[in-house]
Homo-oligomer: A and B are copies of this chain.
Amino acid sequence: MRIGELSKDTGIPVPTIKYYLREGLLPAGERTHANQVSYTAEHARRLRLIRAMVQVGDLPIGTVRTMLAEIDSAERPTDSMLGRLSGALVAPRSHGPHADEDEVAETAALLRRHGYTRTDSVHVQMIADVLAMLRRLGRPELAAIVDDYADLALRMAETDLATLTALEDRDNLAESMIIGSVLGEALFAALRRAAHATVSGRVFPEDKFDTSPPS
């Protein structure tokens, strides 16, 4: 198909498609005549994937490029690939005051108690950083939530991996991992907010604080 059809098929404007071509996110089409380039269903598929990563995952173009390279090079999806993908998803953002060595070691020990086995990663540093920030905000009681969250995250990871291993289409396992990771995160964030609305309706009925003395 020509670029106009590709645009119609995917709902992505032609200038955006050209931008992705220039950035190397989308392979060039096949030149069939002097002034005509032809694209395939594979191009449409790749475009929808790019769109999901950019729009829903809010990922920068550089990260999208890294992930697509992983997909294209992956013959055998392995543990280490999942690790690389997950690493690429972590925005290199400063989390402000960093946890010190003791705080990171304590966090790793806490995770091991909850059944985590890989406790030397960048993620553990991030967890320790957030906990340190809660303490520095004078809110150690909010940091206590980490115990429940650690169990919930492990159950969620088991659900994610069970879904991946049940897929019949093993050729696209790397793509499935990325889609699952990016869209799964957006899905869960929206669900969590809907759940907050439900639970807060139970916990804070509208006039609950009406009878309290003014503070």
Contact = CB atoms under 8 A, between A and B. Distances in A.
A35 B134 CA distance: 35
B149 A188 contact: yes
**What band does the interface of chain A fall in when counting residues whose beta carbon is under 8 Å from B?**
35 or more
A215 B78 contact: no
A136 B45 CA distance: 10
Interface string A195-213: 1111111011110111010
A160 B145 contact: yes
B130 A82 contact: no
B193 A90 contact: yes
Contacts of A51: 96
A162 B95 CA distance: 27
Interface of A: 11, 45, 48-49, 51-52, 55-56, 58, 75-80, 82-83, 86, 89-91, 93-97, 111, 115-119, 121, 123-124, 126-127, 130-131, 133-134, 136-139, 141-142, 144-146, 148-150, 152-161, 163-167, 170-171, 176, 179-180, 183-201, 203-206, 208-210, 212, 214-215
